[in-house]
Amino acid sequence: MDRNRKIALLAGALYLATFVSIPTLTLYAPVHDRGYVTGSGPDTGVMVGGVLEIIVAFACIGTAIVLYPVVKRQNQSLALGFVAARTLEASTIVAGVACLLAVVSLREAGAGADAVVTGQALVALYDRFFLLGQSLIPAANALLLGSLLYKSRLVPRVLPVLGFIGAPLLLASNGAVMFGLIDRISPVSGIATLPIAVWELSLGVWLVVKGFKPSPIINNAQAPVLA
């Protein structure tokens, strides 16, 4: 297995790892309940969800770092932008998890009814971090990495095209959520998210199964950076 195949395999595996947080939609349901802080019962679901999201955060950074040595040969500025965007996405994920873990800490400390408002504020802050980090930034990622892969033809062009289609839909959906026109979890927002999800999932699968397609930027490791 040559170096480029190893890079593609690792990048694909990391992309697939970013989907491990899907169960958090269910795991985090109790903490969104207003009475969670004063209630009783296990906090296992929230803790597991937090671990899954931390895995996603590291996987986000990993995808950018692993792909950077290859895609920078196409356009170094865009490649650096992708690394920065992925790092920012990971930062918002970690910040959001910290908010929910703080709610758990309030509950475990027996903070009582006086902490209900604080708990709800922390949950609302998590929702905003999610909106900005895991909903908004993926649109920028799709445009940055999609442009690099489309021009270099490292993968079939239909894959980044999915990202190009999904980015404006995701931006429009996020704008509607921010202005209160639709809920963050709703059929409309789910449909708007689907193209980006398919783009990232299909990219991960392709890189794991097929690897990079023949391209000038990998056929000649010494090739100059292209426009």
Indicate the SS3 state at residue 75: coil
Per-residue pLDDT averaged across 68-89, rounded? 96
Q: Are 26 and 49 in contact (CB under 8 A)?
A: no
Instruction: Evaluate whether residue 127 is within a structural domain.
Output: yes
Domain extent at residue 14:
3-28+43-211
Residue 161, pLDDT above cutoff 50: yes
Q: What secondary structure letter does DSSP report for 131?
A: I
Q: Are 89 and 78 in contact (CB under 8 A)?
A: no
Instruction: Evaluate whether residue 221 is within a structural domain.
Output: no
pLDDT score recorded for residue 221: 53
Instruction: Evaluate whether residue 73 is within a structural domain.
Output: yes
Instruction: Evaluate whether residue 226 is within a structural domain.
Output: no
Residue 84, pLDDT above cutoff 70: yes
Instruction: Evaluate whether residue 225 is within a structural domain.
Output: no
Q: Which two tokens stand for residue 217?
A: 């930027």
Instruction: Evaluate whether residue 217 is within a structural domain.
Output: no
Instruction: Evaluate whether residue 218 is within a structural domain.
Output: no
Q: Residues 6 or more apart from 100 whose CB is under 8 A from it?
A: 28, 31, 46, 49, 50, 122, 123, 126
- Residue 223: CB atoms within 10 A of its CB come to 13
- Residue 26: CB atoms within 10 A of its CB come to 10
Burial class (CB in 10 A: 0-12, 13-18, 19+), 45: middle
Indicate the SS3 state at residue 211: coil
The residue that leads in pLDDT, 68 or 182, is 68
How does residue 187 score in pLDDT terms, banded at 50, 70 and 90?
confident
Residue 222, pLDDT above cutoff 80: no
Per-residue pLDDT averaged across 140-166, rounded? 96
How does residue 46 score in pLDDT terms, banded at 50, 70 and 90?
very high
For the ranges 93-97, 121-125, 134-138, which has the lowest average pLDDT? 134-138
Domain count, the chain: 1
pLDDT score recorded for residue 225: 40
pTM over 0.85: yes
Instruction: Evaluate whether residue 48 is within a structural domain.
Output: yes
